[in-house]
Amino acid sequence: MKMQLEQEEQLVIQLKQYVTDNFPLSRMSDEELEASIENLVTQNIGNQYCPIKQKVSIVQQIYSSIRGFGLLDSIMADDTITEVMINGPDHIFIEQNGRLFRMNKKFESQRRLEDVIQRIVGMAGREVNQANPICDTRLPDGSRVNVVLPPIALCGPTLTIRKFSKTPMTIEKLIQYGSLTKEIAEKLELLVKAKYNIFISGGTGSGKTTFLNALSNYIPKDERVITIEDSAELQITGIDNLVSLETRNANAAGAGQITIRDLIKSSLRMRPERIIVGEVRGGEALDMLQAMNTGHDGSLSTGHANSTEDMLSRLETMVLQGAAGLPLAAIRQQIASAVDIIIHLSRLRDKSRKTMEITEVLGVEDGRILLNPLYVFEEDKNSRLEKVSGHLKRTENKLINDHKLRMAGLPVEI
């Protein structure tokens, strides 16, 4: 009879204790430790029936609780899981196929969860402690990590991981998923090649970074591209002259912080042809717009917003964070002359991610920024409460600012 789950858990706890008490862990290599654990598990199972898969799982659980990330290792190995949310040692939630589930697993103790967090943060050269209890970092595979420790997090150490896709997102995949059509993708390719400044907006989990990754594949391979992010997660392939920059938190003494603003300013002295800012959240929006306005065309970035109009007002607020004295009229003028195209994404009621709008930013008239929607998502008659059906429809409006297309010698009709 197969070993029950409770028996398996007991065996893992018992053997882990034995290994930590009796093995010279500091002198053993990873391979030696794994081989020794395998022998130990074989001896302890004895004649009891245990499928190979279960035995491998027991060995892995013991090994990863000592040298790996413990329980996290098995979660991270599952490619169907896209997000992991750990609210203290006993509450683990995962996102799988767009839906949230609570797992029936937990960490042995709060101390064990804290050890795992320290190991993750330490690997990226960051630190998190009571004096500095919030940290954004990443795993070696590029997955995005956010940590909040007590006393800020009342439910215990909180760890959120947005998993990194092993295969970079391409426009072809977006077409396959129904987020775009081939015809729209061809138009976007022209806009990227002609160096239109494109801003991707959307709510949390709407796929902004994924879309940015896909769009970046259209950048000509011979250009010098500089990416700026809080924690590096863009997967830009095929560009040789690529510089990736990442922010740094202050150390325990409060020194050494490098912000997105610092990186944007520095990147302007690196002769970039394009600057890609992973996400603008605050005062760096002003530096980003100024870069777009001073000859760094073809820049790409993302921002949190619920609609295209909302993105513009969010940008105004962010610019004010960076330069409180600027008059609103001047800020709107900056935004309208810097941003050419806004692509708005949304996560709909059925948890699907869709491109909702592709809009041209025309300029300022009577103190307001004028928008020219080119494509708008419309639901069709097959749409139901539990399943959204529809597609991006071309509006009657033509692209008005076509001078960049003409300068690049590309077809002007969009």
Domain co-membership, 233 together with 93? no
Q: What is the pTM of this model?
A: 0.79
CA of residue 312 relative to chain centroid, distance: 22
Domain co-membership, 358 together with 284? yes
Domain co-membership, 63 together with 76? no
Per-residue model confidence (pLDDT) at position 300: 95
Give the torsion through C-alpha atoms of 42, 46, 48, 50, to 10 deg: 10
Residue 412, domain member (yes or no): no
Residue 192, domain member (yes or no): yes
Structural contact between residues 245 and 264, judged by C-beta atoms closer than 8 angstroms: no
Mean pLDDT by runs of 10 across the 414 residues of the chain is 76 86 82 88 84 86 78 84 94 89 89 88 84 86 90 94 81 86 93 96 90 92 93 83 89 81 93 93 91 88 95 94 89 95 92 91 94 94 85 92 91 76
Q: How far apart are CA 413 and CA 163, in angstroms?
A: 39
Q: How far apart are CA 344 and CA 207, in angstroms?
A: 10
Domain co-membership, 92 together with 190? no
Domain co-membership, 43 together with 129? no
Structural contact between residues 24 and 46, judged by C-beta atoms closer than 8 angstroms: no
Domain co-membership, 28 together with 95? no
Domain limit, last residue, from 48, 67, 86: 67
The CATH number of the domain holding residue 134 is: 3.30.450.370
Domain co-membership, 49 together with 102? no
Domain co-membership, 80 together with 55? no
Q: Which helix (H) or strand (E) holds 94?
A: strand 92-96
Give which of 306, 262, 307 is closest to 282, Cα–Cα: 262
Per-residue model confidence (pLDDT) at position 276: 94
* Number of structural domains in the chain: 3
Structural contact between residues 245 and 227, judged by C-beta atoms closer than 8 angstroms: yes
Query: CA torsion sign, 93 to 95 to 101 to 104?
Result: negative
**Residue 23 backbone dihedrals phi, psi, to 5 degrees:** -95, 140
Q: Which domain holds residue 222?
A: 171-407
Residue 98, domain member (yes or no): yes
Domain co-membership, 155 together with 190? no
